[in-house]
Structure 1
Amino acid sequence: MTEPIGYPIPATAASTDGLFDSALALTSRLDLKSALQEFVESARRLTGAKYAALGILGSRGETVAFHHTGMSMSEVDRLPHPPRGNGVFAQIPVDAPLIINDLMSHPAFEGWPDYHPRMQNFLGVPVRIHEQVYGRLYLAEKPGGFDDDDAANMTMLANAAAIAVQNSRLYAESEDRAAWIAVSQAITTALLEGTDEEEALELIAKKMRVVSKSCTALIVLPSVGDAWVCEIADGYEADSMIGLEFPPDGRAQTVIREGSGVVVDSMTRTRTMRIPALRGYGPALYAPMMVQGVGAGVIILLRSRTQPEFDLADLAMAESVSKQAALALELASARHAQDVAAQIDERAAIGRDLHDLAIQQLFATGMQITAIREDLESKDAPAEIVTLLNQAIESVDESVKEIRHIVHKLREPDANVVIVERLRREASLARTSLGFAPSLVITLFGEALPSEIDNDTVSTIDNMIGGDIADDIVAVTREGLSNAARHAKASSVSVTVSVDAAEVRIIVVDDGSGPSPSRSRRSGLSNLAARARRHGGGFELARGDQRGAVMTWWAPLG
């Protein structure tokens, strides 16, 4: 064979010392990328080949990564794509090397892609890890051709490369485990500091996306009825993922029911894709959020098509952290119940103190003033003094009545406030969170009530609704305004409360980004539906005619 000008004449076979030194240098590397590049460069140097490359295989035998040496950057840039493992490459046995010293006459030769360098000879060696082919080493253009010594030496170097890959994997796993532990500690700290439910879940989604090297993280939680909806998303196209409903027979709900996570090699290759928005992703990981053996949700981590697949170590760590996500839901719920209980206890304590201390002291003071007045009256005291004492006694009596009224309100908050006033108060309070005043319309038998409502109409509305359902009406209105303020990014919100002989109906309409379940909290949606069911009513969330959301809640009266 005629040697090209400027092409150095290398040794025709690798010396034992050179092979040993190369293998030792290779197995000492912990970074996978640099180890694989060292492998192809050592193979080229030891054999004297002009070109060397390593194709890493995916789970389906396709080439997912390619490391090479020998070609200039300009030559690489002109190639349409790296080798795909077809033709001659596919002829390499899984357990032995392949030597072809007349490449173009081989039956499996398929021709050269445009701009590909011409090659006369070829050596292919499988790189195996635990009896599975991890990749294939390609060597080409050795002066004089390849021989059995080259094949034997490269097989030994491939074994060293397999050890280097395993070492780098163990090192990467230890680094990943440390990163996952740091995430776990950060989540625990946030929970102990009292972070609320939604903020905790957003933190979990972000931390898990970063540590798992994913491009998108989703948290799917129960929504209205039997629906499961993506309520938290972080990363690429996160906004478009919010509100996606996951079908009962899909992978997400299966993971929730079975309580066991799964990894998917590629969403692109999934035969049945029930959620088209996920089709553009590559590898995926599903980790269930379990609370006392019951699925409370699922965390989905998504990678791009070019990223490597998740492995079982990733799944184990993700499942561990997902349990903390479930704990976040439980803690938030327990903390809310504890806060409510603390408020009730505090109100009761204040009421007792007012009754036992303030009222008794005022009563005693009134008795003393009364005794003084009676004593002065018996001694013909000036009328002006007696009048002043009578006024003081009346003031004490009024103070006692007012404190008793306050104690009564502490025991039953808002129980004595009419429903119209309570609704107006909620609309007024929502101004701060919304940044503008929402519209509130109350209708009775189809007619909108004026801003000034007479007492008879107020009493009629209260009597029609009743105290029990009135509390739920106020809570539903508050939740609807809160959803619009927290998630809708709306510029206008209207609340209509319609009362007639048959039912009470609440409609909250905003012009924001979408329906409320897309970003509202799981507990909020569940509470709205539960309040409706308790009275035999219903609850719906829908998209507006043009944009925004329409929340409708109703309950029968009478």
Structure 2
Amino acid sequence: MAEQDAKDSPDSATRATGSLRGLSDELTARVPELLEATRSVGTGLELHSTLDRICGTAAELTHARYAAIGVIDEAGEGLSDFVTHGVPDEVAHAVGRRPDGRTGLLGALIHEPGPITLEDLTEDPRFAGFPAAHPRMRTFLGVPVHVQGDLFGNLYVAEKAGGEPFGVTDRHLLRVLATEAGIAIGHARSYEAARQRERWIDGSVAVTTALLSGGDADDALTVVAEQARRLADSAAGVVLLPAEEGGLEVVAVASDDPAPSLGVIIPPTSPVAAALLRGEPVFMDDVAGDSRVITRLADRFGPHMLLPLSVGGRVLGALAMPRPKGGRPYSEAERLLATQFAAQAALALMTAEAQRDRERLAVYEDRDRIARDLHDLVIQRLFSTGMMLEQAQQRSAVPAVREGVGRAVDELDVTIQEIRTAVFALQQEPAEVPGRLRTRVLREIGMAAVPLGFKPSHRFLGPVDSLVGELAGKNLIAALREALSNAFRHARASRVEVTVDATAVLPDGRDAVRLSVADDGVGIPESGRRSGLRNLARRAESLGGASWFGPGTGEDGGGTTVYWQVPL
């Protein structure tokens, strides 16, 4: 037996040497191919494109039908990305969610990284099965990919051409490729990180510019939401501000369907809202399983990143960036960049608020000066002028002169009333003006100018904004819209005058607001549709008022004047 062993030993060594020589020869023959492959892997700096090239090159080198790279997440517990080659888009769509690497063979390779060759991966005890519609795979080869000494992920190939198992040469080629891939990925990650930082800085500049431009505050907050969505690659960007009753209110949304979310209030009992109002960030990788979520607002999203907008301990609001369901969780780098972005946005928000306060104060001071000058100087001079005209009227013996002077005195009285109305308006806060009755009337007049071909004149008597209630004002706007519509559809007028008089009095002595819309058109025919006038009458009567019409402003009383009057 010993002799036999002695005889066999040289033969075994000879066979082993021959196998190594054959392997060396095969590797040597494929060196040019390997060099070309590694050069192609190193071209380009965009990370995902680099991963695509690595997969394609791996499949080409090993003559495999499929290839993939599984990128390990920061926690080292699963896969944050899975890039494939050879799987058609329609098949990938049918398969659905890509592997997360938390179970099965791919999960085992995360915790026990190293080269692995399988003739039939379905017979491996670690194999957990394929999802429905997954392509058939048997032969399998995988090697780890290290980037700057750290495990980045695993490179896999499957289904070698001809159904043969992957050999030792394939393993060597794939390991060399994995080494070069690690270098290329390191460069791509550094470049991607620099580009990402640059994008977030540009986004911060855009937000600061928008907030400090002096434009509409709502538009500026929308810019914050849009930039956050773009930079975080999220499904939505949401800005929330503290609500009056507590909690946080959604005030700006950038998404494909923002309408359902606007105005929604996250109650103060929400742990998420409470944390944000304390100035604490909230990160959620799985909203469905997070006990901190008590509203249904987040149901249609996946990983969430919610950051407080705070400066010097003062919380101005919050910024939310949810990703789609099944989306990639936010990395530590993304969280850091987003936190810096939120801090910059909060600082710009506070600076913009201070700037608006200064501008508002300047407006208050200017309005107060104008109101004081109108009251103390202009009105007093008009009073004096009116008294002088009345004295001249009494002394004149010419009837035409007396009549003309009387009309001038009446016009002065109307002018004084209008100035008093203007003084009262100047004493209101600018922030309240856009929703006030005067502004809504002017808006309707401006919109009517397009179909009419000219802008109607207008006049306000009395403190319209403060005296007219919300219900009366809402119906007055509707009545004005109806009267202007009748004017441009039927009157063929060249002049329209709108008057809103908050000093009117009803027959029973109650204070009222009266709207009159006068034109110089063709008037109302004896026979014809009067549904618009009936609508006006019904609207006024429902509020205890009345509506009627009379002569207009045309020559000899031509045209029509529509009156609409209700109690204040």
Q: Sort the TM-score into its range (normalised by shorter chain).
A: 0.5 to 0.7
- Kindly state the Cα deviation for residue 212 of structure 1 after the two structures are TM-superposed: 2.5
Question: C-alpha displacement at 1:282, in angstroms?
Answer: 1.7
Mapped partners of 1:451, 1:189: distance in 2:
52
Q: Aligned with 2:207: secondary structure? A: helix
Sort the Cα spacing of 1:193 and 1:275 in 2 relative to 1 into closer, same or farther, 3 A. Answer: same
Aligned to 1:38: 53
Equivalent runs, 1:104-123 vs 2, <5 Å: 106-109=124-127, 116-120=135-139, 122-123=140-141
1:229-248 matched pairs, under 5 angstroms = 229-242=249-262, 243-248=264-269
Query: Cα offset for 1:410?
Result: 3.2
Q: Distance in 1 between matches of 2:287 and 2:260?
A: 17
> How do residues 26-105 of structure 1 correspond to structure 2 at under 5 angstroms?
26-58=41-73, 59=75, 61-69=77-85, 85=101, 86-92=103-109, 94-101=112-119, 103=121
Tell me whether 1:452 sits opposite 2:506 in the alignment: yes
**Conserved 8 A contact 1:124-1:136:** yes
The change in CA–CA distance for 1:285 and 1:70 in structure 2 (over 3 A counts) is closer
Give secondary structure in 1 for the equivalent of 2:469: helix
1:282–1:304 contact (8 Å) kept in structure 2 = yes
Query: Per the alignment, do residues 268 and 172 of structure 1 end up closer, same or farther by CA in structure 2, a change over 3 Å counting?
Result: farther
1:134 counterpart = 2:149 = no
| 2:206 corresponds to 1:160 | no
Q: CA deviation at 1:321?
A: 4.2
Q: What is the RMSD computed on CA atoms of the aligned residues?
A: 5.2
Question: What CA distance in whole angstroms lies between the structure 2 residues aligned with 1:326 and 1:227?
Answer: 21
> Is the contact between residue 351 and residue 411 of structure 1 (CA under 8 Å) also seen in structure 2?
no
Residues 50 and 183 of structure 1: CA distance in aligned 2, closer, same or farther (over 3 Å)? closer
> Which structure is larger by alpha-carbon Rg, 1 or 2?
2
Q: Distance in 2 between matches of 1:90 and 1:345?
A: 70
Matched, 1:206 2:223: no
Q: Report the secondary structure of 1:238's partner residue.
A: coil
Tell me, yes or no, if the aligned pair for 2:270 and 2:293 is still in contact at 8 Å: no
Q: What do the CA deviations read for 1:144-172 (whole angstroms, capped 9, x no partner)?
A: 6432x654543342233233333333333
Does the CA-based 8 Å contact 1:87-1:109 persist in structure 2? yes
1:264 aligns with 2:278: no
1:250, CA displacement in angstroms? Answer: 1.9
Q: 1:275 aligns with which of 295, 318, 330?
A: 295
The C-alpha deviation readout for 1:403-461, integer Å capped at 9, x for no partner, is: 69957983896798599834379816982899789xxxxxxxxxxxx982755x669xx
User: 1: CA distance between counterparts of 2:345 and 2:31?
Assistant: 54
Tell me, in whole angstroms, the C-alpha distance in 1 between the residues paired with 2:306 and 2:214.
27
Distance in 1 (CA, whole Å) between partners of 2:390 and 2:91 is 108
Task: Report the residue type matching 2:366 in the other structure.
Answer: D
Is the counterpart of residue 217 in structure 1 residue 231 in structure 2?
no
Q: Which moved more, 1:332-341 or 1:184-193?
A: 332-341
Distance 1:141 1:13, change over 3 A: farther
| Aligned equivalent of 1:309 | 329
Query: Is 2:76 the partner of 1:22?
Result: no
Aligned residues of 1:56 and 1:65 also touching (Cα < 8 A):
yes
Query: 1:254, CA displacement in angstroms?
Result: 1.0
Unaligned runs of 5+ in 1: 1-10, 374-381, 438-449, 460-492, 498-558
Match of 2:369 among 336, 345, 348: 348
Residue 267 of structure 1 contacts residue 284 of structure 1 at CA under 8 Å; is this kept in 2? Answer: yes
Structure 1, 282-291 or 103-112: larger mean CA deviation: 103-112
Q: CA deviation at 1:301?
A: 0.8
Deviates more, 1:152-161 or 1:107-116: 107-116
Q: Tell me, in whole angstroms, the C-alpha distance in 1 between the residues paired with 2:92 and 2:466.
A: 75
Q: How many pairs were matched up?
A: 429
- Within the candidate set 468, 477, 489, 1:431 is matched to 477
Structure 2: distance between partners of 1:181 and 1:356: 54
Distance 2:178 2:421 in 1: 84
Q: Shift in Å at residue 317 of structure 1?
A: 4.1
The one-letter code sitting in structure 2 at the alignment partner of 1:427 is: G
Instruction: For residue 300 of structure 1, report the CA deviation from its aligned partner.
Output: 0.2
Shift of 1:368: 13
Candidates 270, 276, 279, aligned match of 1:255: 276
Return 70-79 or 278-287, whichever deviates more: 70-79
Matching residue within 335, 338, 353 for 2:359: 338
User: How many Å apart are 1:190 and its aligned residue?
Assistant: 3.2
Q: Give secondary structure in 2 for the equivalent of 1:239.
A: coil
Q: Is the 8 A contact 1:284 1:303 kept in 2?
A: yes
Write out aligned runs for 1:497-512 (5 A): none
SS in structure 1 of the partner of residue 228 of structure 2: helix
Superimposed CA distance per residue, residues 192-230 of structure 1 (whole angstroms, 9 cap, x where no aligned partner) = 442122222123212322333221121111112223222
Q: Which whole-Å deviations, capped at 9, do the CAs of 1:322-361 have from their partners, x for residues lacking one?
A: 3435644663575266346424434424633774588579
Per-residue CA deviation, residues 439-489 of structure 1 (Å, 9 max, x unaligned), is: xxxxxxxxxxx982755x669xxxxxxxxxxxxxxxxxxxxxxxxxxxxxx
Q: Is the CA contact (8 Å cut-off) linking 2:119 and 2:166 kept in structure 1? A: yes
Write the deviation string for residues 9-44 of structure 1: whole angstroms up to 9, x where unpaired.
Answer: xx9647455444433432332122321122122223
Contact 2:203/2:227, CA 8 A, preserved across alignment: yes
Of structures 1 and 2, the one with the larger relative CO (CA 8 A, separation 6+) is: 1
Counterpart AA for 1:39: I
Structure 2: gaps spanning 5 or more residues: 1-24, 429-461, 484-503, 513-538, 544-568
Amino acid at match of 2:106: F
Closer, same or farther: CA 83–346 of 1 in aligned 2, 3 Å: closer
Scaled by the length of structure 2, what TM-score is found?
A: 0.59
Using structure 1 for the length normalisation, give the TM-score. Answer: 0.60
1:124–1:139 CA contact under 8 A, matched in 2: yes
